[in-house]
Homo-oligomer: A and B are copies of this chain.
Amino acid sequence: HSIVLLPGDGIGPEIVAQARGVLEAVASRFGHDFSFSSHRIGGIAIDETGDPLPAETVDACRSASAILLGAVGGPRWDDPSAKTRPEAGLLRIRKELGLFANLRPIKLFDELADASPLRADIVQGTDILFFRELTGGVYFGESGSSGEGEDETAFQSMTYSRREIKRIVRMAATAARERSNRLTSVDKANVLEPSRLWRRVAAEVMTEEFPDVQYDVVLVDAMAMHLINRPADFDVVVTGNLFGDILTDEASMLPGSLGMLPSASLGESGPGLYEPIHGSAPDIAGKGIANPLATILAAAMMLRHSLSLHAEADAIETAVAGVLADGLRTADLARGDSEAISCEAMGAAV
C-alpha cells in the first residue's frame, strides 16, 4: 500500500508525522507493507513552486492507494491581493481526484464528555455521519462580475445535476444501511432551484433503490437549529457543498474537542483523501503541543475505507480511546489539574 502524505502548513507536518508513526506500528504489528512519500500542498507549495497544488503532487496522489493530509493555510498567505491562496490547492485536489463525498463522523468521546459546550442531557448519544457533496454546488459554479460604480455586481452560480445528486445520495444511503438505517437530506427547496432538483432526485433514489431506509428531509435553517437542541436524533445526513461546509463545522463543536475529529473525502474509485477537520493552527505551529489524535483517527478511516483493513482501523481507534482513558491529554484537551503532554508523546502513546 503506497500512502501519500501531504503535511501542508502550520501544525500539519507535526501531526502527520505522528499519524505516520501510528501507521508504521500497525504495519509491523499486522505484518503489512506501507510505503510513504511526502508531497507539497498549500502555502509551502506556493512558497517553493508558486502553485498551491503542483502537478507533481497531483501525479503522486493519482497513483497512491490513499492520501493523508495535515492542514493548509496561515496568515503568511492571507494577503487578499495574492494571485493564489493555499485553499485553492485544497479545492483543486478535490476536483482533480473526483472526491465528491466528504464523510464527517461526529461522535462524542465518553472520556471527554464534559468538553461539549452543550448541556450533557442534550448532547448525550450524539453520533452523526455527515455526507457533504464536495465537488459541485456554488463552490464550482460559474462566477464573475458586471456593472460599474454602485452597480458593480459579483455573481457565482449554485448548480446541481441529477448525476451529482444521485451518486452522493446513494453513497450516504448505503452507509445508512450499515448504521441504523436512517437518512436525512438537507436542502433549501423552499427557495433554491438546485435544492428543488436535489429534493426530487433524492426522493427518487430513495424510493427506487433504498425503500428499506427510513428517509426524511429538513431545511438547512431548521437543521442549523436541530443540531443544537436535538443532535442525538440524527444518524446519517446528506447535503450539498455549501450547506455541508456550514453544518459540519457547526456540528464539529458538539463533541467539544475539534482536535479529535477526522474526515474522509472519497470518489467513485481511486484514492481517498483523509485529514483532520481542524485547521493549520499557525499560532501553535512548531511548538510540539498540537493534538495529533484527529489525524491519527483520519489514518484509521483510511485503513477502513481505502485499504479495507478493518481490524487495523479498530486497533487504532481502541488505542486512542485507551490513551484517553489513561488520562493522557494534549494542551487543547487538558482541563484543571491534568498535565498536558506533547504531540510526539501522544503519538507515541497511541
Contacts and interface: CB of A to CB of B under 8 A. Distances in A.
A157 B158 contact: yes
- How many copies of this chain does one complex carry? 2
A88 to B, nearest CB: 9
A162 B144 contact: no
Interface stretch (A63-71, A146-154, A176-184, A306-314): A146-154
Interface stretch (A54-62, A193-201, A319-327): A193-201
Chain A residues touching B, range? 35 or more
B191 A117 contact: no
Contacts of A196: 154
Interface string A196-229: 1101100000000000000000001110110111
Interface stretch (A2-10, A243-251, A284-292): A243-251
Interface stretch (A29-37, A99-107, A135-143): A135-143
A205 B31 CA distance: 63
A163 B138 contact: no
Nearest to A247: B224
Contacts of A227: 250
A345 interface: no
A145 B197 contact: yes
Contacts of A340: none
Contacts of A155: 141, 157-159, 193-194
A130 to B, nearest CB: 13
Nearest to A244: B221
Interface of A: 80, 85, 87, 91, 116-119, 122, 138-139, 141, 143-145, 147, 149-163, 166, 188-194, 196-197, 199-200, 220-222, 224-225, 227-229, 242-243, 245-247, 249-250, 252-254, 256
26 contacts: A80-B189, A117-B118, A117-B228, A117-B229, A118-B228, A139-B191, A141-B157, A143-B192, A145-B197, A147-B161, A150-B163, A150-B166, A151-B161, A153-B197, A155-B157, A155-B158, A155-B159, A155-B194, A156-B157, A156-B158, A156-B192, A221-B245, A221-B246, A228-B250, A229-B256, A246-B246
